[in-house]
Amino acid sequence: MKTGVALPKQCFVNNRNIHEYDYKDLITQLITDIPDLKKETLIFPMSSLAKKIIDEKHQLLKKREYPTAIKATSVSVLHGDRVYNAAIAGSIFDVDIGALLLEAKFYQKQFGTNDESLKIIADRLNISFDDFILNLTIVTTSVVQSEDSFMQFFSMLKKQYKAKRGLLVVPISAIPLCMFVQRQILNMCYNEASRVLAAQHKRLSTKMMITLAAGENGTE
């Protein structure tokens, strides 16, 4: 009987294993339907279990670049713990490395590529943590290991920034540099999260094929 009311979409999920069945489709539909103003509240607490979640987080995290850059370059006011003297086109600017490092770790946590999350995934896939990050080329774990390692990475990106921009005019602040550094790290975390997700899906697909094959053999 036609009532003129569209039937709601039904999703089949496994509460004990969210990697199975329609959980990914359910989350994707929720993200699609929710208003933009509420997306951050919904998406940030979500685990990065679907490409749609990773993509949405990537876009939302980009919006944090400017305010974080302002914070990182306001060390004279905020008194940052670790100040980096960035020389740009003959001018010296103070950058709070600690503020940028915290933001990088926030990216990792959001994408599920921090050490804690990766160890859980590696254990689930029955592979050692070291082999897991090596096989998937996860490099941000070493970048954010300490302020010293992050400072070295920042220095490398600063050289790329200067070479890419070909600065001929003395800048008035290091905000664009800090935004550039954040964007590079954000993209790294995003790409790493995509590889981690693909590895999980590949393993799940293999497991399902083995299960189906075993079932077919059992009915013969």
Q: Give tens-digit pLDDT for 70-92.
A: 988 886 555 555 777 776 666 67
Which pLDDT band, with edges at 50, 70 and 90, does 48 fall under? Answer: confident
> Is residue 141 exposed (0-12), middle (13-18) or buried (19+ Cβ within 10 Å)?
middle
50 secondary structure, DSSP code = S
Q: CB neighbours (10 Å) of residue 19? A: 14
Q: Which residue has the higher pLDDT, 172 or 59?
A: 59
The band of 208, judged by pLDDT with boundaries at 50, 70 and 90, is very low
**pLDDT tens readout for residues 114-132:** 999 999 999 988 899 999 9
User: Can you give the pTM of this predicted structure?
Assistant: 0.74
By CB atoms closer than 10 A (0-12, 13-18, 19+), residue 173 is: middle
17 pLDDT higher than 60: no
Q: Give the whole-angstrom CA distance, residue 178 versus residue 65.
A: 8
